[in-house]
A and B are shown apart, each in its own frame.
Chain A
């Protein structure tokens, strides 16, 4: 009965979404307060209903109710409790329910905290959000119902794919979804603005916290996924330009561009049309990502034809939302008044440049990801677009962008002075040159690009610091008074600097880990020593071991540096017994920001095993930089000014955000 209760709650949420998508919009267009007043309460009720059904599904997983088909196919009574819990979204139906839960959660947030928005804008935004929820709840009910039942359930389920039985992968999807789905709110705001014909500086300010929230979570989600791939797949790589990864990178690039263009719109009422378009694009790319991952198109264009209902349904939703919003855009955008003017050299100009490069990079990723699918579907020719393509396109587009990053915040609005701006960055520039020369001295002249890359990263980081320091005029007023000014700086200024600093940190990690990485592949027998980057790795032998649901062959290595003991590492090769699935478990030793990475290959029978050892200098900076970026986003949300006429307490919103993961 409980299960059916959850099922009904989901159906009721669908009916409520229909109400939410019609009544408030009607009210907004007819200027009827009574109808607009429905929007917020209904969005909250819808959220409660979906939350109820999600709780019911979770309960079914925890109590191993195999009369629910979804539980039967994806769980096992002997599975550890934490994976019973995370297993709820370890499958198609459950993860789509989580997706919808986050979607209506964002709707409820706008309903709950949006008290300071104009009534008509809030009503129309929630109505658009209602369309999206209605579409996706219907998708769930009609093609991927998590509450499908089995009349005479067997006693045991089919278990969760062992590669998903990992805590990293368990939290990665909720983070990523909060990011993906968070952009639905900016989309709804944009469509509402087009419908109501109100796009002004205030609109940009109201949208900003939502963009920041979604962007921060998307950043964390991508970083988490990258780290998971790094330690779980055992290849030592942290980014593979895999279509699934690209699907999350594209909305991130578009979202970053949106974040910046919205600033111009807020301050100068310029770039209005462009900002609205970016808001539409960002969520469209999120939907595209969902479609690519969920329809099976990626594994094979033909898998799509095998089970067409889901794919066709999502494709229809995709066409409706993207096509519909773009049509609305084409119809209404020309009517928008153009905003303030500015000189090419100005803060606005720098942000336009930022947008140009980010959207070009996004387009490059888009082409690289979809061209093979397109070619396969049209001509049947099989090609692959791999890392070289992306390195050749994405890389060169990022370099000028990164060079420009420190200039942006120090240029003034409207009409900037490049010379004055450069003067503020002398110190940063000097430091960057110094680090470049230092790297050349350290590594010799045979690598030209890497030291330049290090210099670029230092430039971005030092530029971010310099920006904060010049803001408080540290040179003119001395450190003690500067400190009090430092504290008084608005959150958005701190946020900008932190995020830019984080970008520099990530770039530094990427450059050093890829250019100065050392790698050794060897076949070792007990007693053998592998030398790498000043470490001596002694292979002490391999032994079998049994885990709760796997068996493994564990190699034991002792790591010494100049004869002094450093650590012991136990990489292993596992076979999960239930599905007879082999996995590689790498062993990682972190020293400072660098890591020693060991993964085991085939064993040769006579006690010898293949082993692959990497030394990856400063690799953890890649993910630390992402965390700093996300923190910058959080600090920026906390800016007092965003609370005026915008969703009120940023603190509350942040603590409420992880709720769907509970």
Chain B
């Protein structure tokens, strides 16, 4: 191989690797992005079935029902609309009625949100930022102080 050929081979390989990495990132971004939605968003624009989303809102007071085998169902509300959620698993330590929650999963054809993860952070006063903003949009947010904490 001549010097030029060597150089071309190297640059060619680098180009192929970088291009495929770039393509992979774009493809993954397109495919695996999960959008955050509030119950109102879901009520207004029905999602294609099987579309993964993050659902955020407040856990409605008195809506948590536990059944055996660690299954739990509750309703998530943003004070305008409400959606039922089912989840099988251990709820995070800070999961409480009346508090903010973010869940990830899909909406079933029956309109029930089937969550495969329920999130909470290590902070006592934590209201997920998405939830806080969604609630603000609905005009139900008074806890300006809590958000600053």
Interface residues of chain A, those whose CB is within 8 Å of chain B, are 161, 163, 234, 299-300, 302, 306, 341-344, 349, 352-353, 356-357, 360-361, 363-364, 367, 371, 381-386, 388-389, 392-393, 396-397, 521-523, 573, 579-584, 599-602, 604, 610-612
Contacts and interface: CB of A to CB of B under 8 A. Distances in A.
Interface stretch (B10-18, B43-51, B107-115): B10-18
Contact of B21 (A163, A302, A364): A364
A526 B121 CA distance: 31
Contacts of A384: 33-34, 36, 54, 104
B68 A582 contact: no
Contact of B124 (A341, A342, A580): A580
B97 interface: no
8 contacts: A341-B3, A344-B13, A352-B10, A371-B29, A383-B34, A388-B28, A601-B90, A612-B89
Nearest to A302: B129
Query: In which size bucket is the chain B interface?
Result: 35 or more
A356 B88 contact: no
A389 B21 contact: no
Contacts of B3: 341
A385 B33 contact: yes
A392 B23 CA distance: 11
Given A343-B6, A582-B94, A523 B29 contact: no
Given A344-B10, A360-B18, A397-B21, 10 more contacts: A353-B13, A356-B18, A357-B17, A382-B35, A383-B35, A392-B24, A521-B70, A601-B89, A602-B91, A604-B66
A521 B89 contact: yes
Given A341-B6, A360-B21, A392-B32, A523 B70 contact: yes
Contacts of A300: 129
Contacts of B148: 306
Given A163-B122, A344-B6, A353-B13, A367 B33 contact: no
B70 A367 contact: no
B1 interface: yes
Contacts of B70: 521-523, 601, 610-612
A583 B93 contact: yes
B69 interface: yes
B106 to A, nearest CB: 13
Interface in B23-79: 24-25, 27-29, 31-36, 54, 66, 68-70
A602 B18 contact: no
B35 A521 contact: no
Interface of B: 1, 3, 6, 9-10, 13-14, 17-18, 21, 24-25, 27-29, 31-36, 54, 66, 68-70, 88-91, 93-94, 104, 121-122, 124, 129-130, 133, 148
B32 A388 contact: yes
A602 B66 CA distance: 10
A357 B17 CA distance: 7
Contact of B32 (A343, A344, A385): A385
Contacts of B21: 357, 360-361, 363-364, 393, 397
Given A392-B24, A521-B90, A602-B66, A383 B33 contact: yes
Listed from nearest, the 6 A-B pairs whose CB atoms lie closest are A360-B21, A601-B90, A382-B36, A300-B129, A389-B32, A582-B93
Nearest to A610: B70
Contacts of A610: 66, 70, 90
A581 B124 contact: yes
A360 B15 CA distance: 11
B6 A584 contact: no
A549 B143 CA distance: 30
Nearest to B129: A300
Nearest to B21: A360
Nearest to B89: A521
A393 B1 contact: no
Contacts of B69: 521-523
A367 B25 contact: yes
Nearest to B122: A163
Contacts of A161: 122
A473 to B, nearest CB: 30
A357 B21 CA distance: 8
Given A306-B148, A344-B6, A356-B17, A599 B90 contact: yes
Nearest to B52: A388
A643 B34 CA distance: 51
Given A163-B122, A392-B24, A584 B93 contact: yes
Contacts of B32: 385-386, 388-389, 392
Nearest to B17: A356
Candidate in A302, A361, A610, A612 with the most chain B CB atoms within 10 angstroms? A610
A238 to B, nearest CB: 16
Nearest to B124: A581
A583 B122 CA distance: 9
Nearest to A388: B32
A367 B124 contact: no
A249 B29 CA distance: 19
Contacts of B6: 341-344
Candidate in B3, B9, B25, B91 with the most chain A CB atoms within 10 angstroms? B25
Contacts of A604: 66
Nearest to A233: B122
B139 to A, nearest CB: 17
B1 A343 contact: yes
B28 A393 contact: yes
A299 B129 contact: yes
Nearest to A389: B32
Contacts of B130: 382
